[in-house]
Structure 1
Amino acid sequence: MGNGANFRQRVLVCQNRTCRKQGARKVLAAFQAQLVPGVEIESSSCLGQCGMGPMVLVLPEEVWYCGVRADEVLAIAQRHLREGKPVTAMLYKKFHH
């Protein structure tokens, strides 16, 4: 994908073994289908939170989502990526209290 210079946000979707077993491929595909202007969607190696996946990390804000299902991606894309309001109920509590 590019170097990120033309993007205001990057969404990393872990594609490591544990997250893949939990459905991360479908989550990545669902994000890629959204095509939000100014947002780059990337597959990621392990984000270091094994067992809590699929993990999604939104940069540069460092907003973490855990246990994301493909059918929840639309809510994240609409509310967070388009409207700038993280989906509180889905945030990873380890990093967002």
Structure 2
Amino acid sequence: MADSPANAPAHHPQRRLVTVCQNRSCLRSGSEQVLAEFEKHRTPNLRVSGSECQGQCSSGPTVRVMPDNTWYCQVTPADVAIIVDEHFSGNQPVARLLHPRLHQTASSYAHLAAQAQGDPD
């Protein structure tokens, strides 16, 4: 017997934990405001927490998403709504914010090359 929509299993959003580094160098780069923006999007399936140093000081503010093990770097308060929309609602990590040393993609290599040449973007 074919499954009908009434018999289909209910879709449950994935539970996630977002940690935002609150150590000195990330704080100087605005991580307190990034954490505050994530707090605005807290739901029963999205826990948000400040963290100790995540060991990526030169790339801060650093945000880690679990259980995905996704690392975002140089996150601004304006980026938070994009992460929530694209990653948490659409299940597509935001490629331009992925930490280039931890997520090896073609855009990561372009980002590293730009940094090596002194391009801030």
Question: TM-score, normalising length from structure 2?
Answer: 0.72
- Partner AA of 2:56 in structure 1: Q
Indicate whether 1:20 and 2:24 are aligned.
no
Does 1 or 2 have the higher relative contact order (CA < 8 Å, sep 6+)? Answer: 1
> By how many angstroms is 1:36 displaced?
4.1
Instruction: Tell me, in whole angstroms, the C-alpha distance in 2 between the residues paired with 1:37 and 1:79.
Output: 18
Partner of 1:50: 57
Q: Which residue of the other structure, out of 74, 80, 90, is the alignment partner of 2:81?
A: 74
Question: TM-score, normalising length from structure 1?
Answer: 0.89
> By how many angstroms is 1:61 displaced?
1.2
Instruction: Tell me, in whole angstroms, the C-alpha distance in 1 between the residues paired with 2:40 and 2:90.
Output: 18
Work out whether residues 36 and 77 of structure 1, in 8 Å CA contact, stay in contact via their aligned partners in 2: no
Instruction: Tell me, in whole angstroms, the C-alpha distance in 2 between the residues paired with 1:85 and 1:41.
Output: 19
SS at match of 2:59: coil
Instruction: Tell me, in whole angstroms, the C-alpha distance in 1 between the residues paired with 2:55 and 2:42.
Output: 27
Indicate whether 1:33 and 2:40 are aligned.
yes
Q: Is the radius of gyration larger for structure 1 or structure 2?
A: 2
Work out whether residues 13 and 44 of structure 1, in 8 Å CA contact, stay in contact via their aligned partners in 2: yes
Unaligned 5+ runs, structure 1: 1-6
Instruction: Tell me, in whole angstroms, the C-alpha distance in 1 between the residues paired with 2:93 and 2:63.
Output: 12
Instruction: Tell me, in whole angstroms, the C-alpha distance in 2 between the residues paired with 1:37 and 1:88.
Output: 26
Unaligned 5+ runs, structure 2: 1-13, 105-121
